[in-house]
Amino acid sequence: DGGITQSPKYLFRKEGQNVTLSCEQNLNHDAMYWYRQDPGQGLRLIYYSQIVNDFQKGDIAEGYSVSREKKESFPLTVTSAQKNPTAFYLCASSSGAVPTSEAFFGQGTRLTVV
Amino acid sequence: DQQVKQNSPSLSVQEGRISILNCDYTNSMFDYFLWYKKYPAEGPTFLISISSIKDKNEDGRFTVFLNKSAKHLSLHIVPSQPGDSAVYFCAASAWNSGNTPLVFGKGTRLSVIA
């Protein structure tokens, strides 16, 4: 079954620690994205990558880092510099084909800083 | 500044009646619009989309209308069913400007009352 998988579903982190959220897709999509959802805030773009070994900052990239070494994988690291990391994180992918195709989302990772 | 606005945080509708969810945008470069449905603690799922060359797109009970001059789109669900109760996100992208990532509104929580 093709899809996009995020792991883990729930993650707890102590303040001051870095943590990496996993995102894998087997849809052969070129583009991948990370969004963050906070109550009443909708989905805000953190980083995106339209091709392997290339990525761009989104609207709220501060305190986050990503890598895109493989087409299938786009891990997100939440660093200790992120002031308010507790949130629901969503990874998505799209083919980037003409016209713009819909983005497919994973099931999300809820990160809680304790 | 929000480029995609959903000004109604919530909406309640009787089962069998029509649900109308509204969305406004400010960026005139947006040329592709999508609606996503989201349940709690899950990723959004794609519902329906419309390109700026059209003013209407229909898929079963779901119809999206686009008014480019007013920079407004709406999602009509008829007849509404209890299973439609979820948060609905409007999203937009500027495909002709380089297939930019989706920009999301803050969402409207729809409650369909049996």
- Chain B CA closest to residue A9: B41
Helix (H) or strand (E) holding A3: none
Query: Cβ contact (<8 Å) for A33 and B43?
Result: no
pLDDT value at position B99? Answer: 65
Q: Do residue B99 and residue A43 have CB atoms under 8 angstroms apart? A: no
Nearest 5°: phi and psi at A84? -140, 75
The conformation of residue B88, written as its DSSP 8-state character, comes to: E
Question: Given CB atoms, is A58 within the 8 Å cutoff of chain B?
Answer: yes
- Could you read off the pLDDT of A25-59 as tens digits, one per residue? 999 999 999 999 998 788 999 999 989 999 999 99
Q: Would you call A31 an interface residue with chain B, using a CB distance cutoff of 8 Å?
A: yes
Whose tokens are 């500027």? That residue is: B94
Looking at residue A40, what is its pLDDT?
Answer: 79
Q: Which of A5, A45, A17, A3 is nearest to A114 (CA)?
A: A17
A73-87, A91-105, B47-61: which range is least confident on average? A91-105
Q: What is the largest CA-CA distance in chain A?
A: 44
Answer whether residue A100 shows pLDDT above 60: no
Whether A92 has a pLDDT exceeding 60, the answer reads yes
The pLDDT tens digits for B56-68 are: 999 999 999 999 9
Both tokens of residue B105? 């509104």
Tens digit of pLDDT at every position of chain B (114 positions): 789 999 999 999 999 999 999 999 999 999 999 999 999 889 999 999 999 999 999 999 999 999 999 999 999 999 999 999 999 999 998 877 766 788 999 999 999 999
Span A61-69, average pLDDT: 97
Residues of B in contact with A50 (CB under 8 A): 99
Which member of B45, B95, B104 has the closest CB to residue A43? B104
How many angstroms separate the CA atoms of A79 and A37, rounded?
Answer: 17
Cα-only R_g, chain B: 14
Cβ-Cβ pairs closer than 8 A, A with B, add up to: 58
For A15, A21, A102, the CA distances from B46, given in Å and listed in that order, are 35, 23, 7
**C-alpha radius of gyration, chain A, whole number:** 13
What pLDDT is stored for residue A42 in this prediction? 87
C-alpha–C-alpha distance, residues A99 and A101, integer Å: 6
Q: Is the pLDDT of residue A109 over 80?
A: yes
Of B6, B32, B101, the CB nearest to A33: B101
Identify from A33, A50, A57, A102 which residue to disrupt to test chain B contact, counting B C-beta atoms within 10 A and taking the largest count.
A102
Q: Cα dihedral angle (B65, A59, A105, B73), rounded to 10 degrees? A: 0
Q: What is the pLDDT of residue B52?
A: 92
CA angle B57, B37, A62 (to 5 degrees): 115
| Structure confidence at residue A101 (pLDDT) | 65
pLDDT for A1 equals: 62
A7: nearest Cα among A76, A84, A56: A76
